[in-house]
Chains A and B, each alone.
Chain A
Amino acid sequence: MPAKSKPGARMKLSSTSLTEQEYKQIAKKHKPKPKVLANCLKAFLVGGTICLIGQCIQQLFMTFAGMSSKEASSPTVAVLIIISVILTCFGIYDKIAQWAGAGSAVPVTGFANSMCSSALEAKAEGLVLGVGASMFKLAGSVIVFGVVAAFIIGVIHVIFGLGGNH
């Protein structure tokens, strides 16, 4: 018997007895392997395409609205968010995501999708306790750790004077 055994961790069939490790070995044979390389390639393609679309939108703002690249960045993000929200509402974004993986999760469109899908799902629970409370269910941790990371980088910047010339 292993020193640390929890109840039920050892399975007893009538003639054989399996430990968690032995079972893992049996199960491994039947588990389809995730296609890591193909998934990386798809993520790169889709993520890159989303960024390319963003770049085009920014260029349009700069060419036709006479904005500087800095001025054009905010409306560009807004347009990408709107596109993502529309695709989420029509049930298309999650299908793209199954193919694209990280490619559609990492850009700002993925962030918009996480908020929009949570809000849609919570609609049945009402506006305040449903939509309001649940909208950041998935996106909340991104904001929390984004702020924490920014704080740490800020402290490093102040102490060592590294990076950032603003």
Chain B
Amino acid sequence: MLIGAQTWEFKSKPVILGAATVVGPEEGQGPLTSDFDFVYDNLEIDEKTWEKAERKLLEHASSLALVHAGISKDQLQLFVGGDLMNQIISATFAARTIGAPYLGVFGACSTSMESLAVAAMVVDAGGAQYALAATASHNCTAEKQFRYPTEYGSQKPPTAQYTITGSGAAVVASSGSGPRITHATIGKIQDLGVKDPFNMGEAMAPAAADTLVAHFKDTGRTPEDYDLIVTGDLASVGHAIVSDLLKQDGVTMEKTAFNDCGLMIYDREKQPFVFAGGSGCGCSAVVTYGHILKRMKRGELNRVLIAATGALMSPLSYQQGESIPCIAHAVSIERGEN
């Protein structure tokens, strides 16, 4: 099932039986609002702490995904989840509620595709009939842990990104109808010495380029084989850089639609507080499981490649002067029979 250097090919093509997305108010005002299953009208998500809010998003999206897949909680044989919090507490507490066998994963903002790849791998290998892949992020938990208190008055540079509030979940099954997962390219850590946590796009762009190039090399595919290729959360700065890097490497993206989830989720003209664009675990999850899967269902897209990007730093490593190690995992999804 390993093809080339770092790509898994799933022979049985596991199915995304059902998916769900839940977002906060700011994402609900963005251009993709109609693609989300539920929009909360308050940033607190009706909870007392930001951490509980993030957990609730994850639980809500997961339970909706089960409903959409038409299966009960007891039928679930594996839950693969992760988030941005220390010790991935949101996923773990959600796993307590879900009650299925649980694997916690951490890939920062690449967790969406990391969890989907692991879930697909387990289903493909016969380790589960139904597996749930889910992740969530909350703007205020991320601000609190990685940056400053939410109400602290500091000026952010134009390269800064805005962690999205939202959660995306998908039920992967061995059979059924829905989009099919065909390949997953597992990324390598790339670190070109970027140290600025307010410029994650620049830090993550090499990882995205490397994984995309590896994917095309391993599978023998070209960008034209995809109707849409998206990166996770590189936003305006990182997306421009990755386009340059790919061009340098002889990969032309002109013949396909090449976008970035961090750019798609907000209207940067109307929502200037997002600066360069969106980021966070939830970013590529809600755009993929909400917007992209719905477009596939409508028949607008047949084959897509999602390269979720993650900046694997901690406030500690940053304060100690370390650069930001980054990663990207790509998952290829094909339209199945509806």
A and B are partners in one complex rather than unrelated chains = yes
* A contact set with B: CB distance below 8 Å: 8-9, 11, 13-16, 18, 20, 23-24, 26-27, 29-32, 34, 39, 88-89, 91, 93-94, 96-98, 100-102, 104-105, 110, 113-114, 116-118, 120-121, 124, 137-138
Interface contact A94-B153, CB-CB below 8 Å: yes
Residues of the B chain whose Cβ atoms lie less than 8 Å from the Cβ of A29: 240, 244
Interface contact A13-B151, CB-CB below 8 Å: no
Proximity string of chain B (227-242) to chain A, C-beta cutoff 8 Å, 1 when within and 0 when not: 0000000001100110
Interface contact B149-A120, CB-CB below 8 Å: yes
Interface contact B249-A20, CB-CB below 8 Å: no
Residues A121 and B192 in contact in the complex (CB < 8 Å), given A11-B210, A27-B202, A31-B159: no
Residue in chain B with minimal CB distance to A19 = B192
Interface contact B192-A34, CB-CB below 8 Å: no
Give the distance in Å from the alpha carbon of A56 to the alpha carbon of B149 in the complex.
Answer: 31
Interface contact B191-A8, CB-CB below 8 Å: yes
Interface contact A26-B241, CB-CB below 8 Å: yes
Interface contact A32-B158, CB-CB below 8 Å: yes
Give the distance in Å from the alpha carbon of A8 to the alpha carbon of B194 in the complex.
Answer: 12
Residues A138 and B152 in contact in the complex (CB < 8 Å), given A13-B249, A31-B237: yes
Residue in chain B with minimal CB distance to A35 = B158
Interface contact B240-A18, CB-CB below 8 Å: no
Proximity string of chain B (130-154) to chain A, C-beta cutoff 8 Å, 1 when within and 0 when not: 0000000000000010001111111
- Asked whether B49 is an interface residue with its Cβ less than 8 Å from the other chain, the reply is yes
Interface contact A121-B189, CB-CB below 8 Å: no
**Chain B interface helix/strand/loop/mixed:** loop
Interface contact B237-A16, CB-CB below 8 Å: no
- Asked whether B284 is an interface residue with its Cβ less than 8 Å from the other chain, the reply is no
* B contact set with A: CB distance below 8 Å: 48-51, 144, 148-159, 189-194, 199, 202, 205-206, 209-210, 213, 217, 236-237, 240-241, 244-245, 248-250, 273, 325
Residue in chain A with minimal CB distance to B239 = A30
Residue in chain B with minimal CB distance to A98 = B155
Residues of the B chain whose Cβ atoms lie less than 8 Å from the Cβ of A114: 152-153
Residues A11 and B206 in contact in the complex (CB < 8 Å), given A32-B237, A34-B158: yes
> Which of A30, A94, A124 is the one whose CB lies under 8 Å from B51?
A124
Nearest-Cβ distance from residue B201 to partner chain A, whole angstroms: 9
Give the distance in Å from the alpha carbon of A116 to the alpha carbon of B209 in the complex.
Answer: 42
Nearest-Cβ distance from residue A119 to partner chain B, whole angstroms: 9
Give the distance in Å from the alpha carbon of A33 to the alpha carbon of B157 in the complex.
Answer: 9
Interface contact B152-A30, CB-CB below 8 Å: no
Interface contact A124-B49, CB-CB below 8 Å: yes
29 contacting pairs across A/B (C-beta < 8 A): A8-B325, A9-B193, A11-B192, A13-B245, A14-B213, A16-B248, A16-B249, A24-B192, A27-B194, A30-B237, A31-B199, A31-B237, A32-B159, A34-B157, A34-B158, A39-B155, A88-B151, A89-B151, A102-B155, A104-B153, A105-B154, A110-B153, A113-B151, A114-B152, A114-B153, A117-B148, A117-B152, A124-B49, A124-B51
Give the distance in Å from the alpha carbon of A96 to the alpha carbon of B151 in the complex.
Answer: 11
Known A27-B205, A30-B202; further 15 A-B contacts with Cβ < 8 A: A8-B191, A13-B213, A20-B192, A30-B237, A30-B244, A39-B155, A94-B150, A94-B152, A96-B153, A114-B152, A117-B149, A117-B150, A117-B152, A120-B149, A121-B149
